[in-house]
Amino acid sequence: VSRVLNGHVSVRAATRVRVEAAVQQLGYRPSALARGLVNGRSHTLGFAVYALHNPTLGLLAHGVASAAHLRGYDVIIVDSFGDADSRGERIAKLVERRVDGLLLAPTRLEEELSTIRRTGIKTVVFDTAPEGYTDDDDPLVSFVGTDNARGGHVATHHLLELGHRRIGFLGYPHTIQGSKDRLQGYRRAHDEHGIQVDPALVVEDLHDMEAARAATCQLMENGRPPTAIFAVNDELAIAALQALTWRGSHVPDDVALVGFDDTPLAAWLTVPLTTIAMPIAEIGRIATNLLIDQIEHPAAPAQRVVVPSRLIVRESCGASKKVAQPDKVGSMPVMTTRCCDGYRGHPGDK
């Protein structure tokens, strides 16, 4: 029976048919548990994510799940919403489940890595590798993510090219690597334009939309308010949009706004949001396939994949009012080109 089910070479056609008939009859299903026990491989992946209600992460989960299913793997979710502390423990629990691999949408990368190191499970982290990190540190850990610094740079550069000189920055706490990197891009764009960033314009430590709203108001009540705002993600940008609108500032005429992530609703706001889009479901797929490759070919080395993001120009930045062809915006074709390269929407998403 085992030989039939696993498609082994040497089985007579007659026997095969007979077995298959019986299987049909009884509605027999082989136990993945028993199988995993003997093979030492459970065909299960653990996916640790901190906020499933975030549409971007949901899309990521979708990419992960669909790629995994395609290759015969199942995905166990570890939801660490609200308490990052329990996360390490939960990940350890996955060891008991004998997951073959781990996917991490991280909160505190450093801590998590040490957990991984201990368990020795092959892992893919959704992020770019921290600076100074080398593969030798964790030969089991791969990284898949977009270049956040570049995204921040492109967004800021776009606003700068539009003539803005006072650009506010709305960011997450500095401990969030992605936010930090985007800020770095923001800074570099300013440098390249020979513009000094007014520290009063940079607000980090925004942990939710309410904080972003308050920060926006404060920014505007400042003696010298910004003429544009770059928010580290669409969520914060949406809060800013509401705050600005309610204060009577028109977006984009009074204040231009650029977000990050291209959340599904970004295009559907009353002022559609200009934002940096990344192929998030595709990222999930790439990461999952990479992980499975490594599981199935243990010799394969850890990898770093940087997936390009691209600027999507909609209404909130005001560019559409000034230029017919958004492609023509900006004097740095290199940037635009490299960021768009290989990425034209979310393939397979719809």
Footprint of DNA (CB under 7 A): 1-3, 5-6, 9-12, 14-16, 28-31, 34-35, 37-40
Token pair, residue 171, equals 């960011």
Q: How far is the CB of 245 from DNA (least distance, A)?
A: 58
Interaction of residue 206 with its own copies, rule CB under 8 A? no
Residues 258-297: x where in contact with its own copies by CB under 8 A, - otherwise, as a string: ------xx--xxxxx-------------------------
Interaction of residue 69 with its own copies, rule CB under 8 A? yes
* Sequential DSSP letters for 152-194: HHHHHHHHHHTT---EEEE---TTSHHHHHHHHHHHHHHHHTT
- Asked whether 209 and 215 are in contact (CB, 8 A), the reply is no
Interaction of residue 346 with its own copies, rule CB under 8 A? no
Q: Please, what is the Cα angle at 318 between 316 and 320, to 5 degrees? A: 105
Query: Which of these, 344, 336, 278, 282, lies nearest to 309 by C-alpha position?
Result: 278
206 versus 239: smaller Cβ distance to its own copies: 239
The single residue listed with the structure tokens 């995905």 is 75
Interaction of residue 245 with its own copies, rule CB under 8 A? yes
Interaction of residue 96 with its own copies, rule CB under 8 A? yes
Contacts of its own copies in 102-131 (CB under 8 A): 118
Interaction of residue 300 with its own copies, rule CB under 8 A? no
* Sequential DSSP letters for 289-329: HHHHHHHHSTTSPP-EEEE--EEE--STTSHHHH-S-GGG-
Local structure of 150: helix, strand or coil: helix
CA distance 209 to 170: 11
Interaction of residue 84 with its own copies, rule CB under 8 A? no
With CB under 5 to 8 Å by kind, the binding choice for 198 among DNA, its own copies, none is none
Q: How far is the CB of 23 from DNA (least distance, A)?
A: 10
Token pair, residue 346, equals 């979310």
Applying CB under 8 A, what is the total number of residues that bind its own copies?
58
CA distance 185 to 180: 9
With CB under 5 to 8 Å by kind, the binding choice for 239 among its own copies, DNA, none is its own copies
CA distance 291 to 294: 5
CA distance 228 to 160: 9
With CB under 5 to 8 Å by kind, the binding choice for 346 among DNA, its own copies, none is none
Q: State whether the Cα torsion 170-175-179-180 is positive or negative.
A: positive
Query: Which of these, 85, 179, 97, lies nearest to 77 by C-alpha position?
Result: 97
Q: Given candidates 12, 224, 297, 350, which one binds its own copies under the rule CB under 8 A?
A: 350
Interacting span for its own copies (CB under 8 A) from 79-87, 140-148, 155-163, 222-230: 79-87
Q: Given candidates 1, 17, 21, 92, which one binds its own copies under the rule CB under 8 A?
A: 92
With CB under 5 to 8 Å by kind, the binding choice for 270 among its own copies, DNA, none is its own copies
CA distance 171 to 223: 21
Is cis: bond before 252, omega within 30 of 0?
Answer: yes
State the Cα torsion 87-89-91-93 to the nearest 10°: -140
Q: Given candidates 42, 123, 177, 316, which one binds its own copies under the rule CB under 8 A?
A: 42
With CB under 5 to 8 Å by kind, the binding choice for 39 among its own copies, DNA, none is DNA
Interaction of residue 246 with its own copies, rule CB under 8 A? yes
Instruction: Provide the residue type at 103 as one letter.
Output: L
Positions in the binding site for its own copies (CB under 8 A): 27, 29-34, 36-37, 42, 44, 47, 51-59, 61-62, 65-66, 69, 74-79, 81-82, 90, 92-98, 118, 209, 238-239, 241-242, 245-246, 264-265, 268-272, 350
